[in-house]
Structure 1
């Protein structure tokens, strides 16, 4: 994957997270604050817990930091997969955001 391909795929992922957050806020009582700063999105929940998603350009990875831990993802041509084999990005985000919000949330399509 070239740097430009990585940046295009990473931007699609971050945009999908932001759009999903807007949809979730419109359709649930989650009240998640989504803040974008360059290649990083921070989700802040009413209980003040956070999830941070950011690009790691030199490594061509997306990093996800939640209460449950830190995860690194690489694009496999179809999905962002954990470099340690613990699954797909949106599955982890859905699970951890649901735990932190105290509501069943779905960021993935």
Structure 2
């Protein structure tokens, strides 16, 4: 994958996270603050815990740090998958965000 292709897929994933936070805040009482700085998004929950998602351009990966640990995702042509267990990025984000917020929160890729 070229660097340009990586950036296209990675930016689409970050945009999906931002839009999901907006939807979650509109549709639920979960208060998820999302702040983006360049290729990094920080999600802060009401209990002040955070999830940090950032682009690792040299490795063509997306990294996520949550209370559950640190995770690295690579694009496989269809979706972002964990480099260790091949789990999908948005399902992992949904699981970790739900754990940290105490509510069921759903994140999904853009169509």
TM class by shorter chain equals over 0.9
| 1:85 partner SS | coil
* 1:25 alignment counterpart: 25
Taking structure 1 as the reference length, the TM-score comes to 0.98
Deviation at 1:51, TM superposition (A): 0.2
Q: Counterpart of 2:7?
A: 7
**Is it true that 1:58 corresponds to 2:51 in the alignment?**
no
Unaligned runs of 5+ in 2: none
Q: Give the deviation of 1:71 after TM superposition.
A: 0.2
> How large is the RMSD of aligned CA atoms in angstroms?
0.8
Structure 1 segments unaligned to the other structure (5+ residues): none
- CA offsets per residue over residues 29-48 of structure 1, 9 Å max, x none? 11100000000000000100
* Deviation beyond 4 Å, 4+ runs, structure 1: none
TM-score normalised per structure 2: 0.96
Question: Distance between the aligned counterparts of 1:8 and 1:34, measured in 2?
Answer: 21
1:6-58 Cα shifts (integer Å, max 9, x gaps) = 00000000000000000000000111000000000000001000000000000
* Residues 1:105 and 2:86 are matched in the alignment: no
